[in-house]
Amino acid sequence: MELALARRWWAVVLRGIAAVLFGVLTILVPGATLAALILLFGAYAVVDGIFNLAAALGGRRGEEPWWGLLIEGIVSLAAGVAAFVWPGLTALVLLYLIGAWAVLTGIMEIAAAIRLRREIEGEWTLAVAGALSLVLGAILWWRPAAGATALLLTIGVYAVVFGALLIGLGFRLRRLARREPRRLARAA
């Protein structure tokens, strides 16, 4: 998986940029309606899923474990599509959907960080991003009745921090790709 990520470091950076943009928009417009939140989350989850699927499908060569990225991509796409197909979801259902997505994403990111620790320094950024995902999911399940503004701000801050961590990881992966071009070419 680490070789697939290193070859597609730019996808990790773009994923981080999408998360930061989503977070900033959510923070700047806290009075947005639930429908806008559903659309923003749906768009982010679809983009996140597409980039994960691109990385997974590109990593199918050889014996690289690409299935983790594939599962994360499918889960993100499913969450995004559900948000678009059923825009009238209640706030409680949306909270549980976002919470489940955050928990599953967090688990997959922590697993990827554990595998990356043998390849690069700074893999902790992905582990921290995964831990943040787990914490967000747990908070949303534990306190679903929190106000809509608090939810927007929580998700916004989470997305900005998560995105910044992914951007940092992406540039570390870029250094790995430049440092070991022959190894990455053989794996391709």
- The enclosing H or E element of 149 equals helix 148-179
Place 183 in a pLDDT band, splitting at 50, 70 and 90: low
Name the residue with higher pLDDT: 49 or 33. 49
| 82-93 tens-digit pLDDT | 888 877 665 677
Q: Give me the chain's average pLDDT, please.
A: 82
pLDDT digits (tens, 9 = 90+) for 99-150: 888 899 999 989 988 888 878 787 788 889 999 999 888 887 887 766 556 6
DSSP state of 147: -
124-142 helix and 148-179 helix, angle to the nearest 10 degrees: 160
Is the pLDDT at 52 greater than 60? The verdict is yes
